[in-house]
Structure 1
Amino acid sequence: MTVGIVVVSHSSKIAEGAVELAAQMAPDVGLVAAGGTDDERIGTSLEKVLAAVEQSLVDSGGDGVVVLTDLGSAVMTAESAMEFASNPDAVQLADAPLVEGLVAAAVAAQGGAGVEDVRKAAEAVSFGSGPGPGGRSDLPEVHGQDEPDASGDFEIINPMGIHARPAAKIAGGLSGLDAEVTVNGVDGMSIMALMALAAGQGSSLHVEARGKEASKAVEYVGRLVKEGFGEL
């Protein structure tokens, strides 16, 4: 079993599409879409979200459930569903943008992370390393002249380079470490920033990390790259 994830959106198509995307990167994770109203209009339904939460609680086998939402009123619906859930203590709401947070959470769950770490993975990659909700404001601010605590250079060997799945693996794994990481100068916990590098086969990733687990973070990225992100 893994931690289950529920996606709450005002649109059933958005919820289903987000689940479809995340499932490509985390095939063993139970992902449940709860979008739109009961009559398929734009909006949210307490009954539909509560049913999704209950289904996910069962499917997760006691490992817990993380809920992600899109717009503000969806948060209120999700919070209400959590209050009425059969095991509210096993359900956590992630303060994270829907798509990027969902992918990071799904990758973390696929790797066996617990419910709290799955929620933190969603929040960490979505808001980056700066201060603010879910941000890593406890970590030192990075300045251009600062020497990293650890660094490494790794050549990409998988044919497709850094597309969505490798970016999610990098960001999802780094989100659970006490380190601030950049990859070719961009936030290592931002899936979108990593994808925007457009780093193809044969190009190099320069990884710099600062913090208590800096060495572990660099080793983690290096291992993913050398294994071809599991795509070879």
Structure 2
Amino acid sequence: MIGLVIVSHSEDLARATVELAMQMAQGAQPPVRIAAGAEGGFGTDAAAIAAAIDELADTTGVLVMTDLGSAAISTELALDLRESAQPVRISDGPLVEGTTAALVRAATGGTLDEVAAEAADALAAKRREDETESARSEPAPASDSASADARLVNPLGVHSRPAAVLARAAGGYDADVRIRNLTTDRGPVNAASLVGLLSLAAARDHVLRIEATGPDAPTAVEELRRRIEEGLGEPQEWSEDDQAG
């Protein structure tokens, strides 16, 4: 599994970022280390970053998320100081959104390239529809294939938490799973991608089409259809207090 190192000038910011991201990755969680605050203050320390990377020596790769530009410079120095040999990538994605997207993708068994791509494109869900082409991709040529439509029942649509549930479920199958929002004609996107799912801008009562190819395609489609129609772990009716929160 891919590990993450969070490099920030502020330890409080780093810990809050990890806490938020961990709430999105249910079940097995990728290993995460924090290297933040130089000598207990504000700043970054290349030696501490190198040590954090070395603690993840038994992973298949490490993605380093940074906040300000000098944090990336410290990380580049840390690569010369580390003792471990696993591949390491320094992300240029946003710290909070990138960490969340990367952690969810890593939890589904994504490769270092896939996890890094999620982090780099983590702001795609905030862009206008005509700017989200990078989050879209066409399904692979059909082999074993299946498809189904499901109506979204979540009162607040597919926001970060249900998107993470859906991504984790999709990543557990030997199949290339894509989802399209038929109501708004957005997609298809990789169902294991948190960024892609958020870019669908799926609201309550929108109809989502699930398409899959690969050995587990029928099982994956049926499972995701069921999860969507059951609310992806969220209640179908919300109180005023729930909506305010």
Larger Rg: 2
Equivalent residue number for residue 160 of structure 2: 164
Q: 1:31 to 1:224 in 2, by over 3 A?
A: farther
**Secondary structure at 1:38's aligned position in 2?**
helix
Letter in 1 for 2:152: I
Alpha-carbon distance in 2 for matches of 1:117, 1:47: 27
SS across alignment from 1:56: coil
Structure 1: tracts of 5 or more residues without a match: 141-150, 210-215
Residue pairs, 1:221-232, within 5 angstroms: 225-226=228-229, 228-229=231-232
In 2, the alpha carbon distance for the partners of 1:3 and 1:71 equals: 23
Matched, 1:23 2:11: no
The correspondence for 1:98, drawn from 85, 95, 98, is 95
Identity of aligned residues (%): 32
1:67 aligns with 2:64: yes
Q: Which residue of 2 aligns with 1:144?
A: none
Q: What amino acid is the match of 2:87?
A: A
Other-structure match for 2:206 = 204
Offset of residue 98 of structure 1:
0.9
Q: Show the counterpart of 1:123.
A: 120
* Cα 1:93–1:197 shift into 2, 3 Å: same
Quote the offset at 1:197 in angstroms: 5.3
Question: 1:3 touches 1:63 (CA, 8 Å); kept in 2?
Answer: yes
Instruction: Determine whether 1:194 maps to 2:198.
Output: yes
> 1:228 and 1:162, CA in 2 relative to 1: closer, same or farther beyond 3 A?
same
The match for 1:50 is 50
Q: Distance in 2 between matches of 1:198 and 1:45?
A: 42
Structure 1 letter corresponding to 2:55: Q
Q: Report the number of matched residues.
A: 206
Pick the aligned partner of 1:110 from 101, 107, 112: 107
Q: Assess, with a 3 A threshold, how the Cα gap between structure 1 residues 193 and 4 changes in structure 2: closer, same or farther.
A: closer
Counterpart of 2:134 in 1: which secondary structure?
Answer: coil
The residue type paired with residue 31 of structure 1 is V
- Deviations 1:182-220, CA, capped at 9 Å, x for gaps: 6846786675993995845xx3245699xxxxxx9xx69
- 1:20: Cα distance to partner? 0.9
Q: What TM-score do you get using the length of structure 2 for normalisation? A: 0.63
For 2:206 and 2:67, the matched residues in 1 are separated by 35
1:77 is paired with a residue whose SS is helix
Segments of 5+ residues of structure 2 without an aligned counterpart are 139-146, 212-216, 236-245
Q: Quote the offset at 1:164 in angstroms.
A: 2.2
- What code does the residue aligned with 2:82 have? A
Report SS of the residue matched to 1:125.
coil
Taking a change above 3 Å as real, the CA distance of residues 207 and 225 of structure 1, as seen in their structure-2 partners, is same
Q: Counterparts of 1:199 and 1:56 in 2: how far apart (Å)?
A: 39
Q: CA RMSD in A?
A: 4.2
Question: Could you give the per-residue CA deviations for residues 18-40 of structure 1, whole angstroms, max 9, x where no partner exists?
Answer: 11111122252111122211132
Distance 1:6 1:37, change over 3 A: same
Could you say which residue in structure 2 is the equivalent of 1:11?
A: 10
Amino acid at match of 1:124: D
Provide the C-alpha distance between the structure 2 equivalents of 1:205 and 1:113, rounded to a whole number of angstroms.
27
